[in-house]
């Protein structure tokens, strides 16, 4: 029986990294062997991983998957201790724990015109969603952007699955000097009649995406990234307010109607462990990685 | 033989449990109760009347031959006591620590009529700890494999008990756990100072050595659904996913930073070892003044965890009075000894934050006890105009947990109650789906470890019968 062939207990195979790429400064791509998850995952879903015995559990959205090869593609930015440590792993090494696919998949149906908007690292989760809309026969317009040229990721991949693509940078070092949401608004004003839009990126970008889509009455979804622990609805740390109701992003989301999201609360809650995260990172930079053997 | 048996000494006083001093223990996560010495255990075992009726056995949800194992201890045959326990209980070291014996076996002990009942739980713990210290693990002779495969969803007390029982019957059992460690609530919920995690691991190891396969990092409902497990070759599935959905009060301010569900607070501390931050990566807010809302065992665990993390003051805010608190008496006393400030007849109405979105106060209202409600306990009624505030920087909501919907909502045809609990036959665990059984908190709502184990035991028998028919 194939079921149960993964996992870290009982000498079973762990989650081996088969490929590692540096996509941009501080942005990594891993291809990880996880056949049980790869066989089930759909665009919009995420996984939770833990690197070592002393490690914390962090959620990462799935940027791609290969059901036949049994692999997941994970793209992450090195921002804190855990992602920095993750970035030190090399192809051939293993991730101790990896669980998923978690959260609800993106609702993808055949529509006439769809906008897929990704900012910064958010382009990674937007990619499989874009590909799936395209595969469903939608006309897909993508808008991707980053702070500057060197931080832009997946341009080639996104181009391949989009009917039209627009690229922006905050500093104008590549593509158009603009925010992705400004570009979205320009297209809408030019007469693009989007039936649906998805926007994933940093909170300020998603907040602005919510404003633009609701201003023009376009059904828009954002994918939220609050702090999580178990990722199965058990702890409730990922609670977000959507339309005035408390929801758990891990099981009710991660995607919600953009116009309904309380971004102030999301921002505040993301900063809960700001001090502790700094302390952890500082210790890591001093070469002290807790009690961890990595 | 019989003339060599020690005489019962029922008149002797019940042996007290050595414990860490409250002043010391409120600053550490080491186990509070230290366990009987051999002399104490033998003396306590000598109190058993060896009565014919043995009501204690009927009081035990997993039907341990209590007088038999106690007799072995009285005879200094500790290995024999372990063997007797293991016949019926796959988790003796756990039960000896966290079972509410005062409501079960000890409640019906004949000695309890005139004196204090035999300390059955403490003796069970003594025997289980003896097994651990001896380093020996005795296993029954391996059964003939039946060729049948059973999937167990959730590795808490219900699932582990069932897995042990079915493995002993020769079925191929696979236990799926969503988290990275096996043990469910025994690992994420119950704190180290009440149930050391090394002990849980050892019990899990025992069941694994009986032949059950342990698979962490596998979310049934997501990684595979129950239907898919059946299609991929399992002949039966047992759902024991517990009470994994935190309840909040739906009062203003609950989403402020510093407000935790008890599940989150305890998971960070127990499973993720946040009390060892920064050696462990998972952080937890160390509150100076912690307010825990609720009066059950989970609330007591949260209070005592808050203290050990370093709080100066920990309040227990409970809407009824101390007499109605659902927590075990022993745990309430432990918490009070350690300095818990009990705010009884008090209910939060809102949580107030500072300008940075962090909790700073709870506004509460005083309560009066009115007529008994459906639970038979007197209903708390708010006293108008009695609002007052408690200064806190961490709040833990420990007002109960519901059934986690992941499995019920992804299993077509599985009947649930309006609260989301799976409907299952009390005697067999049978659900509305053939071959699918359920037991423990997912069926009953949040209850105790031993009741979940009892449900696992019954379901194991029913699954065995089902597989023999199939």
Subunit contact A269:B180, Cβ cutoff 8 A: no
Does the beta-carbon distance from B223 to A99 stay under 8 Å?
yes
Measured between CA atoms, the residue of chain B closest to residue A274 is: B283
Chain B residue closest in CA terms to A279: B278
Higher pLDDT, A40 or B98: A40
Q: Do A10 and B357 touch (CB under 8 A)?
A: no
CB contact under 8 A, B217 and A56: no
A56 vs B282: CB contact, 8 Å cut-off? yes
Residue B450's pLDDT is 87
Question: In the prediction, which pLDDT does B339 show?
Answer: 95
Q: Search chain B and give the residue with CA nearest A81.
A: B281
Number of CB pairs, chain A paired with chain B, less than 8 A apart: 159
Among A241, A117, A132, which Cα is nearest to A187's?
A117
Closest-CA residue to A41 (of A126, A103, A112): A103
Burial of B47 (0-12, 13-18, 19+ CB in 10 A): buried
Instruction: Considering only the beta carbons, identify the residue of A7, A54, A233 that sits closest to B404.
Output: A233
The Cα of A165 is separated from the nearest Cα of chain B by a number of Å equal to: 33
Closest CA to A61 of A77, A81, A39: A77
Q: Which of B12, B187, B212 is nearest to B94 (CA)?
A: B187
CB–CB contact B255 A265 (8 Å): yes
Nearest to B272 among A56, A269, A272 (CB): A56
Write phi, then psi, for B89 (nearest 5 degrees): -130, 115
Cα B26 to Cα B305: distance, rounded to the nearest angstrom: 9
Nearest to B286 by CA among B374, B210, B361, B394: B394
**Angle (CA) A237 B257 B278, round 5°:** 75
- ipTM of predicted assembly, 2 dp: 0.92
Sheet containing A139-146: give its strands across: A176-177, A164-169, A139-146, A113-119, A196-200, A220-223, A255-257
What does the pLDDT read at residue B375? 79
Average pLDDT, chain A: 92
Residue A293 has pLDDT above 70, yes or no: no
- Which residues does B451 contact at the CB level (< 8 Å), separation at least 6? B61, B440, B444
Q: How many Å apart are CA B327 and CA B340, to the nearest integer?
A: 14
pLDDT at A52: 92
Cα distances (angstroms) measured from residue B413 to each of B152, B275, B422, B434: 19, 43, 11, 10
Task: Decide if B267 touches A, using CB distance below 8 A.
Answer: yes
pLDDT at B35: 95
Label the pairing between strands A220-223 and A255-257.
antiparallel
pLDDT recorded at residue B140: 83
| pTM attached to this predicted model | 0.93
Query: B342: helix, coil or strand?
Result: strand
Burial class (CB in 10 A: 0-12, 13-18, 19+), A293: exposed
- What is the average per-residue pLDDT within A197-218? 97
Phi and psi, residue B306, nearest 5°: -55, -45
Q: Please list the alpha-helical segments (H only) found in B111-237.
A: 120-134, 157-168, 185-188, 197-209, 226-231
Chain B residues within an 8 Å CB radius of A12: 215
CB contact under 8 A, A280 and B229: no
Per-residue pLDDT tens over the stretch A27-39: 999 999 999 999 9
- Contact status, residue A231 vs residue A254, Cβ threshold 8 Å: no
- Of all residues in chain B, the one with the smallest CA distance to A85 is B281
Q: Say what the pLDDT of residue A68 is.
A: 95
Q: For residue B4, what pLDDT is reported? A: 54
- Under an 8 A CB cutoff, do A239 and B255 touch? yes
> What pLDDT shows up at residue B434?
95
Nearest Cβ partner of A40 from B223, B254, B280? B223
Model confidence at A9: pLDDT above 50: no
| From A99, A273, A279, residue closest to B217, measured CB to CB | A99
Q: How many helices (H) and strands (E) does chain B have?
A: 17, 16
Burial annotation B361-384 (CB, 10 A radius, 16+ → b, else e): bbbbbbbebeeeeeeeebebebee
CA of B411, closest CA in chain A: separation in Å? 16
Indicate yes or no: CB of A236 within 8 angstroms of CB of B263: yes
Residue of chain B whose Cα is closest to the Cα of A268: B357
Measured distance CA(B466)–CA(B470) in Å, rounded: 6
Q: What is the pLDDT of residue B135?
A: 85
Please say whether the beta carbons of B232 and B224 come within 8 A: yes
Q: Which residues on B lie below 8 Å from A6 (Cβ)?
A: 215, 217-218
- Chain B positions touching A236 (Cβ under 8 A) are 246, 248, 261, 263-264
Closest to B178 (Cα-Cα) out of A16, A61, A228: A228
| pLDDT score for B100 | 86
pLDDT in tens, chain B (470 residues): 444 556 677 678 899 999 999 999 999 999 999 999 999 999 999 999 999 999 999 999 888 999 999 999 999 999 999 999 988 888 899 999 988 898 899 999 999 988 899 999 999 999 999 999 988 888 888 899 999 999 999 999 999 999 999 999 999 999 999 999 999 999 999 999 999 999 999 999 999 999 999 999 999 999 999 999 999 999 999 999 999 899 999 999 999 999 999 999 999 999 999 999 999 999 999 999 999 999 999 999 999 999 999 999 999 999 999 999 999 998 999 999 999 999 999 999 999 999 989 999 999 999 999 988 887 888 899 999 999 999 999 999 999 999 999 999 999 999 999 999 999 999 999 999 999 999 999 999 888 888 899 899 999 999 999 999 87
Contacts of A282 in chain B (CB under 8 A): none
pLDDT > 50? residue A3: no
Tell which B residues from 445 to 464 touch A, by Cβ distance under 8 Å. none
Would you say B299 and B261 are in contact if contact means Cβ atoms under 8 Å apart?
no
Whether residues B178 and A36 touch (CB distance < 8 A) is answered with no
Looking at the complex, report in whole angstroms how far the Cα of residue A124 sits from the nearest Cα belonging to chain B: 22
- Closest residue in A to B173 (Cα) is A4
Angle at A81 between CA A80 and CA A83, to 5 degrees: 70
Helices within A53-109 (DSSP H only): 81-88
Of B214, B245, B257, the CB nearest to A272: B257
Query: A56 and B245 in contact by Cβ < 8 A?
Result: no
**What is the crossing angle of helices B157-168 and B197-209, to 10°?**
30
Residues from chain B contacting residue A57 (CB–CB below 8 Å): 180, 272, 282
């Amino acid at each position: 029986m194939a079921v149960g062939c993964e996992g870290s207990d009982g000498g079973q195979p762990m989650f081996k990294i088969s490929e590692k790429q540096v996509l941009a400064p501080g942005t990594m791509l891993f291809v990880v062997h996880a056949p049980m998850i790869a066989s089930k995952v759909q665009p919009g879903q995420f996984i939770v991983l833990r690197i070592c015995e002393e490690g914390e559990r962090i959620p990462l959205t799935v940027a791609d998957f290969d059901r036949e090869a049994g692999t997941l593609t994970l793209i992450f930015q090195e921002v804190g201790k855990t992602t920095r440590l993750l970035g030190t792993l090399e192809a051939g090494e293993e991730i101790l724990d990896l669980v998923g696919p978690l959260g609800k998949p993106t609702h993808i149906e055949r529509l006439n015109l769809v906008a897929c908007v990704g900012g910064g690292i958010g382009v990674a989760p937007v990619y499989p969603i874009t590909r799936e809309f395209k595969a469903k026969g939608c006309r897909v317009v993508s808008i991707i952007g980053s702070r500057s040229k060197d931080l832009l990721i997946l341009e080639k991949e996104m181009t391949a699955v989009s009917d039209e693509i627009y690229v922006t940078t905050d500093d104008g070092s590549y593509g158009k000097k603009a925010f992705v949401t400004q570009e979205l608004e320009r297209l809408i004003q030019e007469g693009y009649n989007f039936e649906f839009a998805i926007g994933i990126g940093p909170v300020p970008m998603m907040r602005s995406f919510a404003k633009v889509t609701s201003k023009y009455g376009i059904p828009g979804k954002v994918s939220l990234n609050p702090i999580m622990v178990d990722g199965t609805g058990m702890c409730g740390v990922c609670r977000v307010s959507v339309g005035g109701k408390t929801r758990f992003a891990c099981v009710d989301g991660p995607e919600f109607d953009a116009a309904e999201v309380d971004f102030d609360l999301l921002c505040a809650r993301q900063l809960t462990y700001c001090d502790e995260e700094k302390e952890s990172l500082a210790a890591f930079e001093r070469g002290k990685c807790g009690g961890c053997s990595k | 033989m019989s003339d060599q048996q020690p005489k019962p000494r029922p008149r002797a006083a019940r042996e007290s449990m050595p414990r860490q001093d409250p002043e010391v223990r409120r600053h550490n996560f080491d186990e509070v109760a230290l366990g009987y010495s051999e002399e104490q255990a033998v003396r306590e075992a000598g109190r058993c009347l060896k009565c014919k009726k043995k009501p204690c056995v009927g009081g035990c949800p997993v039907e341990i031959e209590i007088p038999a194992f106690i007799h072995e201890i009285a005879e200094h045959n500790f290995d024999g006591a372990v063997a007797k326990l293991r016949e019926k209980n796959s988790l003796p070291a756990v039960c000896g620590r966290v079972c509410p014996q005062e409501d079960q076996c000890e409640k019906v002990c004949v000695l309890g009529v005139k004196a204090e009942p035999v300390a059955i739980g403490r003796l069970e713990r003594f025997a289980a700890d003896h097994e651990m210290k001896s380093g020996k693990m005795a296993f029954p002779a391996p059964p003939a494999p039946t060729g049948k495969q059973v999937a167990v969803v959730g590795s808490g007390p219900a699932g582990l008990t069932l897995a042990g029982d079915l493995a002993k019957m020769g079925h191929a059992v696979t236990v799926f756990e969503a988290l990275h460690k096996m043990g469910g609530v025994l690992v994420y919920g119950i704190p180290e100072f009440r149930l050391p995690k090394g002990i849980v691991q050892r019990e899990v190891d025992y069941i694994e050595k009986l032949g059950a396969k342990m698979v962490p990092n596998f979310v049934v409902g997501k990684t595979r659904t129950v239907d898919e497990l059946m299609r991929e070759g399992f002949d039966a599935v047992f759902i024991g996913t517990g009470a994994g959905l935190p309840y909040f009060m739906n009062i203003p301010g609950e989403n402020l930073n510093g407000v935790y569900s008890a599940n989150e607070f305890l998971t960070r501390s127990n499973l993720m070892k946040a009390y060892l931050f920064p050696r462990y990566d998972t952080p937890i807010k160390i509150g100076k003044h912690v307010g825990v809302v609720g009066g059950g065992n989970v609330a007591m665990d949260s209070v005592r965890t808050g203290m050990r993390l370093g709080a100066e003051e920990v309040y227990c805010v409970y809407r009824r009075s101390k007499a109605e608190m659902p927590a075990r008496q022993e745990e309430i006393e432990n918490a009070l000894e350690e300095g818990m400030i009990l705010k009884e007849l008090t209910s939060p109405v809102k949580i107030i934050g500072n300008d940075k979105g962090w909790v700073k106060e709870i506004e509460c209202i005083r309560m009066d006890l009115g007529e008994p409600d459906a639970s038979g306990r007197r209903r708390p009624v708010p006293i108008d105009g009695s609002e007052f505030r408690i200064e806190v920087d961490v709040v833990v909501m420990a007002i109960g947990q519901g059934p986690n919907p992941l499995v019920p909502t992804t299993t077509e045809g599985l009947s649930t109650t309006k609260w989301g609990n799976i409907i299952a036959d009390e005697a067999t665990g049978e659900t509305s789906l053939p071959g699918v059984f359920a037991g423990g908190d997912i069926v009953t709502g949040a209850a105790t470890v031993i009741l979940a184990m009892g449900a696992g035991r019954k379901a194991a028998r029913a699954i065995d019968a089902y597989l023999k028919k199939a």
